[in-house]
Structure 1
Amino acid sequence: MMEKNETRHLTCEEIGVTPGGSLLPKTKQKAKRGRERESHEDKKWKKKKTEINEISAIQQAQEVMAQVQHRLEEKIKNNAKTNKEFMNFIRDNMAYDNIQKTTIGVFGKTGDGKSSLINAILDEEELLPTGTLDACTSVIIQVEAGAEKDQYTATIEFISKEAWENELKSLLDFVAERNERDETICKMAEDKIKALYGKNATGKSFDELMKDDRSPVIAAMLRSNTKTISRFQASDLSEAIMPYIQHQESDLGGLYWPVVKTVRIKVPDHKELLQNIVLVDLPGNGDCNQTRDEMWKSMLRECTAVWVVSNINRAASDKAAWEILKSSMTDMVQGGACTRITFICTKTDDMDPKTYMRSLKSKKSVFLFNQHFLCILNNEDLQITAGNESDKKLKCIQHRNNMAKNRVKQEFEKQFPLQKYYIRSFSVFTVSSQEFCSEEPYLKQEDTEIPKLREVLRRLNHSNANRVASQYLTNATGILSLIQTSKDNNEEMNMDKAKLHNELRKKLDDELKCLRFDHLEPCYDELEKYLSDGVKKSERKCAEITKKNVDVPVEKNGRGYHQTLSALCRNKGYFRSNDGETRDLNRSLAEIMYESINEKFNALFPNKGETRLSVREKVKRFSIFSISVTEGYSNPAAMTHILRFLKAEEGKLKRMIYREIAQQKKEIYASITDTIKEEMLPGYNKAEECVGTRSMLVKQRVLIQHTESLKHTMFNKAKNRMLVSFRNLTKLIEIMLRENLLEAMAHALTESNFPFSLDVSIEIAALEMLSALTDE
């Protein structure tokens, strides 16, 4: 079980802050000549640093800020001349600003061990229901740390009543036309209907189902939009949410997963791993509901890391896993925030040594042609001899693990040769959740690799927590520095403020012009050039692309494909099947334009590091404040406090802009596909209306003709929409920089914002010490 740390707050005296005292031990204040033995102060420093890392620096800083706010409110209460707008600004800046959490997407086929993996990592063996389900469900499950210390909660979000009724009509149509339909899609439709209305429901009409005894309960649930369930035990919560996320033939008529969008689970006592992280269990199977598929893609774009889960026995050749990854890659990376992809091979304990060794021998002649595998097929590596029969299973597991890692890495490089330029890392783990949780394991815990994955989470969580603490302490120190200037409120100081105000406003104008004309406009021109090239190529190829997407694949028969084509039209050009196979006509039509801009787009909006051309890097380099500005003023110490506040405000503003850039990037990239989808919509609607004999051929002809008729306008519209979206982002950046910096300057450099004096030098010193202690 993971340890639960008790939080103890250090006092200012324990931190070492006294009026006029040093913030750091002497050996930290000055560079030492050569190596010296640790002084007593150094040892005390390390002890405090360790203790600070074990508790929340933010909570201690909030205590300091709360004390200042109490003193501030007393001053405000006793002074009638207080500037209310300014004081509200101070209060808002003293409040803690929650930072957006990091999202890790976990997806794979049902039965491959996603739930068991998450349970094992969190040391919550019974949190998510496990086991092979009777049917796939498409519910998105989010797991994060909860605020309550002793309660597990699940918030269930439902689709709307109107959306369900429209979907139910489509499902009934699928079932009614079974002879002409794909059996897989018909089975999916039947499962949804029976889950809610019982095993005999598929023979009823829509009106009959609306009069069913269960309908009022379902309608009330959908009108409520959400439902929250709380339990004191993980197993009790798991049992309570089961009808909302699992399909079981034994409970037909009492299952609600078909009308669930997401389930958000919050678990207590997991801040060590999940304080700043959300794990999202993304269903690997598709859904014939357009809203859910769009939500799936939207959630994927939010992931900064993705875990692909697959059974080790087929990991390198798992068509479904690689298909999901392939169809999602651009949404995750170029159109999203993903920087790390991890492939997790599960169920490594599932091993029959005799069968495995026999399979190695039978495959040896095949592997001999691949020099990469020669080194792992000799006896020295496998280390299985007559003398160590007792650990034969362990040796086979280790051998298969190593082989799986090599083969998965090779497959990734083969399928995604260019992604190494766009993501930070691709890693492979071989895990056994069952062995990790077993009371009598034959694998060591480290051999299950669950501790390694847990450490990945812990490091990421710590990195985020450190970033959050650093940002909060910088902001808090900045606002205290502004308050500290209240004690230097005289005529000479007011003249200095006015002088600095004029200089900074002029510098802001100059720097914004430089940002626009020297940096952002050239980016626009470059993007336009590559988009224009993509338009020309797309116009030449669009008819061929459409025909390829709507024709019957060689491996399918016409009757079964009719259902797929109908679902594609109903879902406005997109369909993802239960086995992970994706058909996206909109994306296929946009592919050439994306290929034309991907390299340039990645340079403008990189997930992996920064580039010279990146929009974020240009904002990062923008600044109008420098310490040298304080030269030539009557009170340099007070001006330094003002500049510290302004630089903190500038840093906070840049982080706001970074978040805006990251969000707008996703919308800008998706604008090509979104435009094509909108232009193709009349064609999808017309094709969907085609019924009767030879209707599939008519649907195909309608879609091909519609694409051909639009080719000279559709791709140009997509190009222009992306350029407008990019231009809007650059304008927004300029507006945010100008308006927010002018506001900050007005607050810091106005003559009489402080009608009173408040000395917060001790509190500033305390925050400086906390910042130093939390630095890595």
Structure 2
Amino acid sequence: MASSRPEFSGAEWEDINVSSSAKKKRKLDKYRAFELEEQESLKTYESMESRIRKVVNIMYEKLTASLPQENMSDEIKYLTNRLLTLKTKSSLDPIYIGLFGGTGAGKSTLFNAIVEHKFFLPVSGSEACTSCIVQVNSNQGKNYEAKIHLLSREEWNKELKNLVELVKKPEEEEEEGEEEEEEGEEEGDVGEAVQKLRALYGKDAEARSYEDLLSAKLLVNIPASKWIQLKAAQAKELSEKLDPYIRCHNDKDVEEPAQDEVGTKMRLWPLIKYVEVTIPKSDVIPEGVVFMDIPGTGDYNSKRDEMWKESINKCSVIWVISKIERVVGDKVHEVLLTESIKAYQGGMCSDIALVVTKSDQLHLDEYLRERKQNNKPIETKHDAILERNTTVKETKSRGMKKKFKRTLPSDSEILHKPDLVYTVSATEYWQEKHLTKEETEIPKLREYVRNIYLKEKKQLLMDYVTKALGIVLLAENFNSTQDMVNHYQQSGLETFVEEKIKALEKEIEKCFAQLEQPLNEGVKQAKLSHQKAFFQLLTQDTGYQGFHRTLKAVCQNNGVYASRIFARIDLNSALAQPIYDKINPMFANIFRIQKGTRASLKPCLDMFKVSVQEKIRDVGKRSTVANHNCKLKFFIEETNIILSTLEREILTKKLDIYQSLPLSIQSDLQPYYKDAAKTQGRQSCQKMQNILLENIERETQGGMFERAKEKMKMKLQELKDTIMTNLRKDISTMLKLALSHREELSERLPDFQNEYSEIDRIHVALQRM
């Protein structure tokens, strides 16, 4: 069933010395990954953007060439700066798609299939890949490139201290349990810590003290630039160069000392912070889309852990990856789904999907023996795979919707998505032994990416054109000889706007006040359940045996530890969870960025915008000035820009507000984490637990959860103040600019009538699409 050539040609199949006709054909073929109708839309968007950019450049050149740069009026400086900002703005902000899954879930294999390169990113085989974040995007270059970012020596030294503590065997450890524990640890936290130490310091490094290792010379050199650049003409070549760096190698596979360059590279993996990979212009990854291979947990290095959280929170889309053998009954992907919902609540995420990998892994006889649907005969593995895929989709979709409903408003857009779950097989995508390419759902995920890209491309183009129209309207307004100052002042517009701003402030206060009761209920519940949260998190499903070293790491990292055995441990978030359980639906409703109710923040802003624009139109209708259209249009478009800018500001502040609860708790508990981390000697594990539990109890009685609540309310107040301050400033600037005209300005502006006509025509055409 396999085809004789790759499904997509890709840059690696092109001759570097292509003819001009081939270049022309490639340019026309740049949207080959899209359907014909989508291609036409994208070509139209590109043409519109190109024309708008030319117009903006012409306006900027006209303005700067005709006017002196010194002693320029504030109005003209404002116009020039707006033009310069738009002139240099990128056409499409990066769209981050996060592949979020644990070790062995198949993230890299899935990605390789999506980009049509079977062995591009190193995949987990007998060896486990490192947990660093790998992000991949495409550009207009000819080469495949990778930039490997490394920890600095200072950053590594901080991690080194934690690693030494982690491998240190506590005095009270019972000999009868040592052998069993050591065997398990070699595959978990301690095993990985040992491998890191040996890779950088040699054999038996785990037996040396922190002070000894701190003064020891690393077996590898850290480049002064703190990064390593790799380039290759072919995908396979780059993959081979990248492999030694980002694959986690068992210490048995690392010679001591390194006998060659490859051996030296193999030692660097503990120092890798993250990796950026760039591929040439791709037929399957539109330029501007960035895939992020995100490990299922953070890292006990604070810098990598910060990057882990930041990466999740900046993703527009998160795919939770889980292999099919674990998707039913396994808790790992449920934990990742919970983290994804947190990103949906507090970050940039607007879409979540569960991607179930390795759907081809099915034993037909076992499946037939255990299957519950007996009304339809199954004779082939193909039919069995498809039936199981359907069952998994139905089961997991119900579970996800149930989970979403506990956290999000009942009418949230994500609850009404036609596809929440995808069942894929990268192996079958290449082999087509039991499934067609379409049935592997790899093409369906590509369609998913295309739809995201098309939606974002149109929205960002509309924003860009709207801003360009606002600028040219402002310029035309400055060129007007009609004095409408008296008309607009007598209309009471400024007084009306101020009244509406005060009304908006009250609406925002009402909006945020809705969180008061859920916050109070959450605090009450948190105070009742703090001990339970402490023991549940620290024991998880494994009890206390062997947990002492992990608990030490939790204390060293102020309550947060990315354990390979226990998954991510965040005591601060666990203590705050009862509050989140109470506020989540209301918080999501207040900050929803799509449709909303009167209780949401966006409709409050929309109502303000509509009322102000209606007033402006009404004032314009009463004007006796023959030509006031430019001024009126400027008012309308500028209010659109002001409000859309505010909405983006709110989106960035939302995460800060949402994360304020655990950060407040962490701040209160920080002294006790430090005290517990210093504990040594016999029964140190019990002593650490006692220190934490006693002081969590003390802080609970002393108002820890109430302070966390007040911290969130303070952040909400700061957001409200920011909204009102920015709105007053921007509206005031708009009115000042709109009511300025030629007679008031010392400069005489060039004629921008042609530029205005071109931008206005494109703006109207885009609105109709």
Shorter chain as denominator, the TM-score bin is 0.7 to 0.9
Structure 2 SS opposite 1:307: strand
Which piece of structure 1 moves more, 476-485 or 578-587?
Answer: 578-587
More deviation in 714-723 or 520-529? 520-529
Change (3 A) 1:704 1:608: farther
Say which of 463, 468, 471 aligns to 1:479.
471
Give yes or no for the alignment of 1:507 onto 2:496.
yes
Paired residue secondary structure (2:352): strand
Q: C-alpha separation between the residues in 2 aligned to 1:432 and 1:678? A: 45
Mapped pair 1:337 → 2:348: yes
Report the CA distance shift for 1:309/1:47 in structure 2 as closer, same or farther (over 3 A): closer
Q: 1:160: how far off?
A: 3.4
- Which residue of structure 2 lines up, in the alignment, with residue 236 of structure 1? 237
Q: Deviations over 1:285-308 (max 9, x none)?
A: 453334433432232222232111
State whether residues 195 and 247 of structure 1, in contact with CA within 8 Å, keep that contact through their aligned partners in structure 2: no
CA contact (8 A) 2:150 2:273 kept: yes
Shift of the 234–460 alpha-carbon distance from structure 1 to 2, 3 Å rule, reads same
**Whole-Å separation in 2 of the counterparts to 1:81 and 1:723:** 44
Who is 2:683 aligned against?
A: 694
Deviations 1:91-147 (A, max 9, x none): 33542534543322112222332112112212233431224252352201122232x
1:120–1:436 contact (8 Å) kept in structure 2: yes
Residue in structure 2 matching 1:723, options 688, 713, 720 = 713
Which one of 578, 603, 627 corresponds to residue 564 of structure 2? 578
Q: Of 571, 584, 597, which aligns to 1:598? A: 584
Please state whether the residue corresponding to 1:280 is helix, strand or coil: strand
1:259 equivalent to 2:271? Answer: yes
Match of 1:20 in 2: none
1:539 aligns with 2:539: no
Q: Which moved more, 1:652-661 or 1:400-409?
A: 400-409
Please give the alpha-carbon distance, in whole angstroms, between the structure 2 residues aligned to 1:81 and 1:720: 47
Amino acid at match of 1:680: L
- C-alpha contact 1:301 1:335 (8 A) present in aligned 2: yes
Residue type at the aligned position of 2:736: A
Q: What amino acid sits opposite 1:760 in the alignment?
A: F
Q: Is the 8 A contact 2:360 2:425 kept in 1?
A: yes
* 2:617 corresponding residue in structure 1: 627
CA distance in 1, matches of 2:38, 2:278: 33
- In structure 2, the CA distance between the partners of 1:566 and 1:722, relative to structure 1 (3 Å rule), is same
Give the conservation status (yes or no) of the 8 Å contact 1:646–1:748.
yes
Matched, 1:556 2:556: no
Residue of structure 2 aligned with 1:137, choices 130, 137, 153: 130
**SS at the partner of 1:263?**
strand
User: Which residue in 2 is equivalent to 1:748?
Assistant: 738
8 Å Cα contact 1:79-1:755 kept in structure 2: no
When residues 750 and 773 of structure 1 are mapped into structure 2, their CA distance, relative to the original with a 3 A threshold, is: closer
Matches within 5 A, 1:108-187: 108-132=101-125, 134-146=127-139, 148-177=140-169, 180=173, 183=185, 184-187=188-191
Partner of residue 396 from structure 1, selected from 384, 407, 411:
384
Which deviates further from its counterpart, 752-761 or 603-612? 752-761
Q: Is the 8 A contact 1:93 1:476 kept in 2?
A: no
Return the TM-score normalized by structure 1. 0.83
Post-superposition shift, 1:674? 0.5
Partner SS state of residue 67, structure 2: helix
Within the alignment, does 1:733 sit opposite 2:745 as a pair?
no
User: How far did residue 251 of structure 1 move?
Assistant: 4.5
Partner of 1:657: 646
Letter in 2 for 1:731: D
Residue deviations 1:238-273 (CA, integer Å, cap 9, x gap): 233334421124356533232222222222213874
Distance 1:737 1:708 in 2: 44
Is the 8 Å Cα contact of residues 194 and 206 (structure 2) preserved in structure 1? yes
In 1, distance between residues paired with 2:41 and 2:402? 45
**Range with bigger deviation, 502-511 or 660-669:** 502-511
- Which position in structure 1 is the counterpart of 2:663? 674
TM superposition score normalised by structure 2: 0.84
Q: How does 1:439-478 map to 2 (within 5 A)?
A: 443-478=435-470
Report the equivalent of 1:29. none
Q: 1:634 to 1:73 in 2, by over 3 A?
A: farther
Q: How far is 1:198 from its partner? A: 4.0
AA aligned to 1:399 is E
What one-letter code is carried by the residue in structure 1 that aligns with 2:502? K
Measure, in 2, the Cα distance between the counterparts of 1:501 and 1:126. 68
Cα distance between partner residues in 2 of 1:108 and 1:414: 21
Gaps of 5+ in 2: 1-6, 11-24, 29-36, 256-263
Taking only aligned residues, the RMSD between alpha carbons, in angstroms, comes to 3.2
Aligned partner of 1:42 in structure 2 is none
Deviations 1:715-773 (A, max 9, x none): 12111111110001001001111112222332332233373354433333322333344
**Amino acid across the alignment from 2:325:** N
Query: How many angstroms apart in 1 are the aligned matches of 2:8 and 2:439?
Result: 18
- Partner of 1:317: helix, strand, or coil? coil
Which residue of 2 is the match for residue 350 of structure 1?
361
| Residues 271 and 79 (structure 1), Cα distance of their counterparts in 2 relative to 1, 3 Å cut | farther
State which drifts further: 259-268 or 662-671: 259-268
- More divergent stretch after superposition (258-267 vs 175-184): 175-184
Cα displacement string for residues 186-223 of structure 1 (whole angstroms, at most 9, x for unaligned residues): 102012223334455434444554565545713xx3x5
Aligned counterparts of 2:488 and 2:709: Cα–Cα separation in 1: 44
Match of 1:767 among 750, 755, 759: 759
Tell me the residue number matched to 1:388: none
**Structure 2 Cα separation of the partners of residues 280 and 741 of structure 1:** 39
How many residue pairs get matched? 703
DSSP 3-state at the match of 1:224: coil
* Partner Cα separation in structure 2 for residue 678 and residue 560 of structure 1: 28
The 8 Å contact of residues 166 and 552 in structure 2, kept in 1 or not, is answered as no
Question: 2:79, 2:765 → 1: CA distance?
Answer: 30
Q: Which amino acid aligns with 2:562?
A: R
Deviation string for 1:52-108 (max 9, x for gaps)?
437342122101222333333343269998775245335335425345433221122
CA change 1:185–1:93 in 2 (3 A) is closer
The question of whether the paired residues in 2 share the 8 Å contact of 1:542 and 1:589 is answered with yes
Give the gaps of 5 or more residues in structure 1.
Answer: 9-45, 368-375, 385-391
Instruction: Report the Cα distance in structure 2 between the residues aligned to 1:618 and 1:271, rounded to whole angstroms.
Output: 42
- Deviation per residue, 1:473-522 (Å, 9 max, x gap): 11112212222335432xxx12x1353267442232111111112x0122
Tell me by how many angstroms 1:680 deviates: 1.0
The equivalent residue for 2:16 is none
